[in-house]
């Protein structure tokens, strides 16, 4: 379905997008050596860092590492291959804390640039047909923010994800006149890498049609109950 909707999201386009990446001054990437000292699954490690960063951004009284582990474990239990630790080692905390501090610093700077817009946690991604609703990472005004803790550049799957988020939001906006995101900011606290892309550009460059309504109708036809039964 995603290949039909975004057939031009090829390696060439992805590479061109990644040439626009930037970094934040004063923020240090996490070394691979430090990450390798932790025995946590990478997904679990950075889920832990997300829980810690969210707590730091929301509360004056930052949640304990035990509470962050409980939050991260609950989220990771959705994945069949998740290995849930019973306790954290100092090396685990060192990496997760570094990633959390990097993410908080990035978000604080972005929010300051967009003052007075507030930082929204877990923005709703509406469902459609058999596609269930979900949540993104953050949003600030018209900017959707997605966090990726990977050792590589942003990939085609990352762009497909945020394009699908936009289409699902737009499908509901047509009916409810909700505000739309106009740009997406991808953040990688692990590498201190970021990429800001206009949705207009991303849709034109990657999609099967330049007509937004037509794209939504293509999506509706793909996820309708009738399609699901075929």
- Determine the pLDDT at residue 176: 66
Instruction: Find the distance separating the first CA and the last CA of the chain, reported in whole Å.
Output: 14
Q: Kindly report, residue by residue over 110-157, the tens digit of the pLDDT.
A: 999 998 999 999 999 999 988 999 999 999 999 999 999 999 999 999
Q: Using CA atoms, how far apart are residues 131 and 223, in angstroms rounded to an integer? A: 7
Give residue for tokens 């497909």. 160
pLDDT bin (cut points 50, 70, 90) of residue 199 is very high
Q: Using a CB cutoff of 8 Å and minimum separation of 24, what contacts does 208-216 make?
A: 208/4, 208/5, 208/6, 208/7, 208/8, 212/170, 213/174, 215/5, 215/167, 216/167, 216/170, 216/171, 216/174
The number of distinct structural domains making up the chain is 1
Domain that holds residue 84: 2-229
- Determine the pLDDT at residue 230: 40
Q: Kindly report, residue by residue over 59-95, the tens digit of the pLDDT.
A: 778 999 999 999 999 999 988 888 999 999 999 999 9
- Determine the pLDDT at residue 127: 92
């Amino acid at each position: 379905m995603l290949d039909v909707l975004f057939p031009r999201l090829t390696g060439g386009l992805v590479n061109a997008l990644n040439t626009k990446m930037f970094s934040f001054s004063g923020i240090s990437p996490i070394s691979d050596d430090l990450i390798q000292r932790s025995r946590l699954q990478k997904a679990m490690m950075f889920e832990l860092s997300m829980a810690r960063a969210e707590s730091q951004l929301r509360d004056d009284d930052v949640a304990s590492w035990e509470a962050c582990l409980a939050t991260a474990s609950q989220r990771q239990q959705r994945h069949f291959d998740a290995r849930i630790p019973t306790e954290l080692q100092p090396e685990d905390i060192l990496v997760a804390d570094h990633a959390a501090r990097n993410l908080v610093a990035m978000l604080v700077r972005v929010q300051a640039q967009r003052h007075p817009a507030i930082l929204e946690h877990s923005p709703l991604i509406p469902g459609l047909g058999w596609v269930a609703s979900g949540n993104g990472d953050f949003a600030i005004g018209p900017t959707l923010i997605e966090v990726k803790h990977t050792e590589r550049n942003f990939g085609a799957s990352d762009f497909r994800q945020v394009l699908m988020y936009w289409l699902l939001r737009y499908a509901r906006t047509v009916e409810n006149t909700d505000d739309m995101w106009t740009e997406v900011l991808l953040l990688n606290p692990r590498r201190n890498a970021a990429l800001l892309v206009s949705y207009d550009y991303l849709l034109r460059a990657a999609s099967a049609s330049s007509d937004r309504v037509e794209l939504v109708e293509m999506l509706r036809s793909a996820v309708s109950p009738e399609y699901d039964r075929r």
